[in-house]
Amino acid sequence: MTDHTEPPAAPVFDRERDGRIAITGGAGFIGANLADRMMREGHDVVILDSYARPGAEQNAHWLAEQHGMKLRIRRGDIRDRMFVHTSLRDASVVFHLAAQPALTTSITQPRLDFETNALGTFNVLEALRQMDDPPPLLFASTSKIYGDLPTLSLSVRRGRYEPDAPALRERGIDESQPLDFVSPYSCSKGAADQYVLDYARLYGLPNTVFRMGCVYGPRQLGNADQGWIAHLLHQGMRREPVTIHGDGQQVRDVLFVDDLADAAIAAWRTPAARGHAFNIGGGPERTLTPNELLAMVDALEGALVTPRFEPWRPGDPRWYASDTAAFRSATGWQPRVGVDEGVRRLHDWLGSSVDDDVAVDREWP
């Protein structure tokens, strides 16, 4: 049964107040950062979260301590249709971040994955469709819906995979890339992605989709399913080995969470972005491989992190970088935090904030 009670540390709020920013998954890593940013800018926020992810309850209590009466917390599950309808009824904008984010979990628990990602998003869309004046919706999709890019011609240069085509190396993958669902996770997120766009087309809802790559930053607890940068940093700080699926030369573009918050706000405030899907990430200028990150961990910690290499996992491309030109053109957004600075800031937060008893698995997703 879904728990609709408020967590003990959460303040009590007037349900009739209008104009709140709603963030599903608002106690997660990205959601907590976005909620904090919005409230620091003066907005009232309601977060919806089931506390399923490790650290979510701590994030909710941290937000309540920081922001008091500007925050409303609704504990429940987006698979619960009535919970979603009730919680979103006074929203002025909805950032839909709640998800089952893990490839491995989608394989072992495909029903949970489908109901959370596809049905949960459908519940959000139906709640908005039934409003007289639906608020803007930003949906967090994933670059995983493009699959493992099997037709991409790659070579290994300087210890990392790179496209042979100069234009791809320079600009990255744009939104014209065909969708290719190769796991339950990509199927559920891809279905939700297409529902969000179709509700914009068919019903005129002011929806925007972000197809996101790797996001990292403070308040992230990485594990085998999600958050590989935080995971490798955490393991290095604990002097523990890690498992890397593949050869460690695979390339991902990485985006610091503050830059993602900037992008989310830009999408909300740009009517021209509505009805469209955008690839969002650090782009070719902000890329990283697991092996390169391990070298950074060695430098930060002064100790060698020993990886164990395992076979590739399905749907894992050797190279991916987002072409963000369409979104930059629509909004003027640009990421500001470089990889070295972002990794150092996450490292500093982990060093000061992570409880040693937090369970963190030892794989790179």
Please identify every residue annotated as catalytic. Answer: 185
For tokens 């089931």, the residue is 50
Residue 327 C-beta-side C-alpha neighbours within 13 Å: 31
Q: What is the CA radius of gyration of the chain?
A: 20
DSSP state of 337: -
Half-sphere exposure of 12 (CA within 13 A, CB side): 0
CA distance linking residue 215 with residue 337, whole number of Å: 12
* Residue 241 CB coordination number (10 Å): 11
Both tokens assigned to 57: 């309850």
DSSP 265-328: HHHHT-GGGTTEEEEES--TTSEE-HHHHHHHHHHHHTS---EEEEPPPTT--SEE-B--HHHH
Output the six-digit token pair for 314.
């399905």
In the block, tokens 């994933």 appear at 142
What DSSP assignment string belongs to 155-223? EEETTEEEESSHHHHHH-B-TTSPP---SHHHHHHHHHHHHHHHHHHHH---EEEEEE-EEE-TT----
CB-based burial label for 4 (10 Å; 0-12, 13-18, 19+): middle
Q: Using CA atoms, how far apart are residues 96 and 327, in angstroms rounded to an integer? A: 18
